[in-house]
Structure formats: C-alpha cells, structure tokens
Structure 1
Amino acid sequence: MHILSASSMLALCSIVLAKNHQFCACQSATDGSINIDATAQVRSLHSTEYLWGQAEGDYWVAHDKGPGPRFAGAFLEAAYGWIDGRAFYNLCRNFGGGDSTCFDCSKWHNVNTAIYCDVS
C-alpha cells in the first residue's frame, strides 16, 4: 500500500479540480470585484494566449445564479481553445490579483454596452 504525503494529495486534487472555461478575469480578492488592472496585465503580457472577451467599452452583467459571470466587468477569452482555470488564477496572483473568476456562456445578447448571458 502506498501512502501519499499531504503535498502530493493537494497536487493531485489541484489537477483533478482544474477546469477549463470560456471567459476569466482577475479579482481584487475572493468574492471581490473584477481587478481590471491585473486582468489587463495578463492580456498585455500573454497577448498570444488571451483576447478581450468583449468589444472595448462593453462589459458583462453579473448574475447571482444561472449562466454568466458572478461579477460584472471585462473578461478575457482564450485565443485558442479554453482557459485553464488554475493557470489563469496563478497569472492573476502574479499580477496583483487576489483571486480569479471564470464562467462559460454559450449564448448571449447585448443591450447597448451591457452583455447578458442567456440560458441555453
């Protein structure tokens, strides 16, 4: 029987719990607002990996439950494929973010500059 150390278990859990997402942004803190400065740093220094997920000046509207972001603001999307949630969190932390928030949205609509995620 093999015994795993606590650090090995945490590493294993991180791999299992990592999830891919369509859109992500850095936060000021856990359950805090979007940290646009940290998000912009991720975009600026990783411009081949991430694109803005909305037109300039547009923003995603927050949803308490259901589809869409939990926090309003500007989000990034992957240039190709999906965003690895764990990797994005680490980038946010490196650029002064306290946490990250991600979501998926298969269908949305705009009202002026506001973007609403629709129920699929």
Structure 2
Amino acid sequence: MSNFLYLFRGGDAAYERMSQKERQEHMELWGAWMENLQQQGNLVDGQPLGAEGKVVRDRGTVVTDGPFVEGSEVVGGYLIVSAADFHEATEISKGCPIFDYDGAFVEIREIQDMDNH
C-alpha cells in the first residue's frame, strides 16, 4: 500500500452561494464519505484549509499574502489516502463530494518515501 495526497481544488464560490442548510448537508456528505474511507482502511489524514495564506519566495526575502491563483485553482483542503496503486487512488477519488458543488478537480499525488530517494 502507498499513501496518496488528494488536493481539492475549486468549488469555493459555489459553496459561498449555498444556504446554511445546504452547507450543513454538504458537510454531512463529506463526513459520510470520509467515514466510509476510514472504515475501509483508506483514510490516513485530512483537513480543510483556510482561505488565507502566505507565499514565500527567494529564500524568504519576499513574503506576500496569498495564495493568488484563479478561484478554480485554490486548494481548499487535502486528504491522505492509502491505496494499492494510482488506479485504486483514482477510483476512490471519484466519490468525492467536491464534485457536488462545482469543484474543479481532485489532484492526486503519490507521497514518496524519503528513504528511497
């Protein structure tokens, strides 16, 4: 088994337009999806990310507020998922609730073992 990072991009604008009830229902979908992943032994960790951040460049000589990217490209959260391979990690991601509210995409990256590099 390998660990894969899911980066959730987009969907923030649609989420902001939701009523409080719709937001609650949507978060319940996320909770159910993540609970299912945990029960299947696939969920390692994951959290939503705040909207504000900092961008550090040039070894820290330049620090700006950020991230400044197109709304559909903003990373809103992450999960670390355990899967046999990229195929399984991709199949697991297809059930992600981000697609229910105009999320742009889930980026999947395998987490590399530093000891093997």
For Structure 1 versus Structure 2, the TM-score category normalised by the shorter chain is 0.3 to 0.5
Higher relative contact order (CA 8 A, sep 6+): 2
Which has more helix, going by share of residues?
2
TM-score when normalising by structure 1 = 0.37
